[in-house]
């Protein structure tokens, strides 16, 4: 018998989650390959955006389903934390990077794509495997260790530099902003929102998520060690 705990026959929910996580793994794997391919050919961030940007965007849009999964009870976790993580990435990818072509050649683009891709390539196989049986120790270790360097790299080396570099363009073009007077009698400055996000929201959200993941790592790896002893 396998040393890992086998589960019974999979139902529709489990097969759906296997399919979703496998598709995300394939998508992020493709994004990592295309990013590295562009870098090896010394084509820079602009080529990275053109080659990998579409698949990164599709994977990121699909990731909203993870919040839906939590709301629907398909998976466990914090709905708020899941949504905030999705929104943080989407804000940088769609509202800033996609809206400001001048940023496509920024050095932070390949850093961002690779950090996201590698982190998720460690995450999705674990979720897919867990639908069949308890994941092996090496996969659990990878799932709960890869984030240690990759999360800070994605935030400090990818998201924050792109937001900072995008601020002048956001201000000049009044991107995603609503000025008075207007029919809804409401004003919104995306430039101010981006500044608050850069200096307040992102650091706080990162600290909360990183602390949570470190706690989960200690718990999961301790559980694996206990099962291994047994």
Asked if 159 is an active-site residue, the reply is yes
Asked if 66 is an active-site residue, the reply is no
- Read off the pLDDT of each residue in 15-20 and give the average, rounded to a whole number: 97
pLDDT of 195: 98
Structure token pair of residue 91: 């804000």
Among the residue ranges 134-148, 153-167, 187-201, 214-228, the one predicted with the least confidence is 214-228
pLDDT of 10: 75
- Read off the pLDDT of each residue in 33-47 and give the average, rounded to a whole number: 88
Beta bridge partners, 178, equal: 188
Q: Does pLDDT of 224 surpass 90?
A: no
Q: Does pLDDT of 16 surpass 50?
A: yes
Mean of pLDDT over the chain:
92
Among the residue ranges 3-7, 17-21, 208-212, the one predicted with the least confidence is 3-7
pLDDT of 226: 56
Catalytic residue among 66, 124, 127, 159: 159
Structure token pair of residue 216: 């989960």
pLDDT of 2: 42
pLDDT of 28: 99
Structure token pair of residue 108: 């932070």
DSSP 135: P
pLDDT of 202: 94
pLDDT of 81: 86
Q: Count CB atoms within 10 A of the CB of residue 74.
A: 15
pLDDT of 185: 86
Identify the three-state secondary structure at position 178: strand
- Read off the pLDDT of each residue in 147-153 and give the average, rounded to a whole number: 98
Q: b or e along 203-213 (b: 16 or more beta carbons within 10 Å of the residue's beta carbon)?
A: eebbeebeeee
pLDDT of 49: 93
pLDDT of 228: 52
Residue 5, φ and ψ in degrees, nearest 5: -70, 120
Going by C-alpha positions, the residue among 214, 25, 215, 18 that lies closest to residue 130 is 18
Measured between its terminal Cα atoms, the distance across the chain in Å is 15
Residue 184, φ and ψ in degrees, nearest 5: -95, -5
The pLDDT tens digits of the residues spanning 64-96 come to 999 999 999 999 988 998 998 999 999 999 999
Catalytic residue among 16, 33, 43, 151: 151
Q: Does pLDDT of 200 surpass 50?
A: yes
- CA–CA dist 80, 63 (Å, integer): 14
Identify the three-state secondary structure at position 133: strand
Q: Does pLDDT of 100 surpass 50?
A: yes
């Amino acid at each position: 018998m396998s040393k890992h705990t086998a589960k019974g026959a999979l139902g529709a929910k489990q097969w759906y989650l296997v399919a979703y996580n496998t598709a995300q793994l394939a998508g992020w794997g493709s994004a990592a390959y295309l990013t590295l391919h562009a870098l090896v050919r010394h084509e820079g961030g602009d080529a990275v955006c053109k080659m990998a940007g579409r698949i990164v965007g599709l994977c990121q849009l699909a990731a909203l389903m993870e919040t839906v999964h939590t709301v629907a009870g398909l998976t466990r976790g914090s709905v708020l934390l899941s949504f905030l993580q999705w929104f943080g990435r989407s804000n940088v990818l769609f509202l800033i990077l996609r809206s400001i072509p001048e940023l496509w050649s920024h050095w932070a683009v390949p850093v961002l794509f690779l950090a996201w891709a590698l982190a998720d390539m460690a995450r999705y196989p674990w979720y897919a495997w867990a639908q069949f049986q308890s994941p092996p120790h090496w996969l659990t270790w990878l799932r709960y260790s890869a984030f240690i360097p990759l999360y800070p790299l994605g935030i400090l080396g990818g998201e924050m530099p792109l937001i900072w570099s995008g601020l002048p363009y956001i201000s000049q073009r009044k991107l995603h902003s609503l000025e008075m007077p207007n029919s809804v009698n409401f004003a919104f400055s995306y430039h101010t929102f981006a500044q608050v996000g850069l200096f307040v929201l992102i650091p706080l959200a990162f600290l909360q998520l990183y602390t949570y993941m470190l706690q989960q790592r200690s718990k999961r790896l301790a559980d694996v060690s206990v099962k291994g002893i047994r």
